[in-house]
C-alpha cells in the first residue's frame, strides 16, 4: 500500500481485536517487516508453541492487519511477595503505518483488556514512558536486563524479587 494512503487515517479508523490462529500468517509477515533483519518471528512462534502468551491483539485498518501486540506471562518471586509481571513483547507496526498512533492504540487496548497491576517491557526508553513504564535505577527486579534503561516497569512501586519468565525470552 502506498505511504500516501495513510495520511488521512484517523484514530477511529483503527480496529483492534483479539488475534486468532488464522491471523498468524499475517502477523508473522508484519512482525518480520517491522523488525527485520532481527528474527522476531521465530521468537513469537516459540512463545505461542509453549503457550507463554497471555494475549495477542491485532490492529486493522481498512481490513488489513497493520499492527500486533502480545503480552508474555511472567511473575516476580521475592522474599516478601509473589505477583504477576507480564511482559509486553513483542509489539509490531507495519513500517508503512508507523507513527500514526497504532502502536499506542495497541498498548492502551492490551492494558485495558489485561488490566495488569504490574507489567514490564524491554523496549525503547523514549517510547514506553508515555504509557507509564519506568526504569528503576535501584533494580528492584532481578533479571538479565535489570541494569538496562530499556527494562521498564508499569504499576505501583514493585516489591523486590526475581522475574520468572519463559526461557525463550531470557535467551532471546
Ligand X SMILES: CC(C)(COP(=O)(O)OP(=O)(O)OC[C@H]1O[C@@H](n2cnc3c(N)ncnc32)[C@H](O)[C@@H]1OP(=O)(O)O)[C@@H](O)C(=O)NCCC(=O)NCCS
Q: Which residues bind ligand X (CB under 6 A)?
A: 34-35, 91-93, 98-104, 123-124, 126-127
**Between 40 and 54, CB nearer to ligand X:** 40
**Between 36 and 81, CB nearer to ligand X:** 36
**Between 91 and 153, CB nearer to ligand X:** 91
CB of 63 to ligand X, least distance (A): 18
H/E element holding 47?
helix 40-49
Length of the chain measured in residues: 172
117 DSSP 8-state letter: S
CB of 96 to ligand X, least distance (A): 10
14 DSSP 8-state letter: E
CB of 44 to ligand X, least distance (A): 12
4 DSSP 8-state letter: G
How many other CB atoms sit within 10 Å of the CB of residue 57? Answer: 21
Amino acid at each position: 500500500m502506498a505511504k500516501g494512503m495513510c495520511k488521512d487515517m484517523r484514530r477511529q479508523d483503527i480496529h483492534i481485536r483479539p488475534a486468532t490462529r488464522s491471523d498468524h500468517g499475517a502477523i508473522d509477515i508484519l512482525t518480520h517487516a517491522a523488525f527485520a533483519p532481527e528474527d522476531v518471528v521465530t521468537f513469537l512462534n516459540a512463545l505461542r508453541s509453549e503457550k507463554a502468551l497471555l494475549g495477542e491483539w491485532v490492529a486493522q485498518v481498512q481490513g488489513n492487519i497493520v499492527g500486533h501486540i502480545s503480552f508474555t506471562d511472567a511473575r516476580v518471586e521475592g522474599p516478601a511477595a509473589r505477583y504477576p509481571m507480564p511482559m509486553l513483547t513483542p509489539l509490531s507496526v507495519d513500517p508503512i503505518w508507523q507513527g500514526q498512533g497504532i502502536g499506542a492504540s495497541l498498548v492502551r487496548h492490551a492494558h485495558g483488556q489485561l488490566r495488569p497491576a504490574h507489567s514490564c517491557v524491554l523496549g525503547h526508553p523514549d517510547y514506553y514512558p508515555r504509557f507509564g513504564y519506568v526504569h528503576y535505577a535501584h533494580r528492584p527486579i532481578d533479571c538479565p536486563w535489570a541494569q538496562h534503561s530499556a527494562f521498564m516497569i508499569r504499576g505501583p512501586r514493585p516489591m523486590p524479587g526475581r522475574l520468572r519468565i519463559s526461557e525463550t525470552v531470557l535467551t532471546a
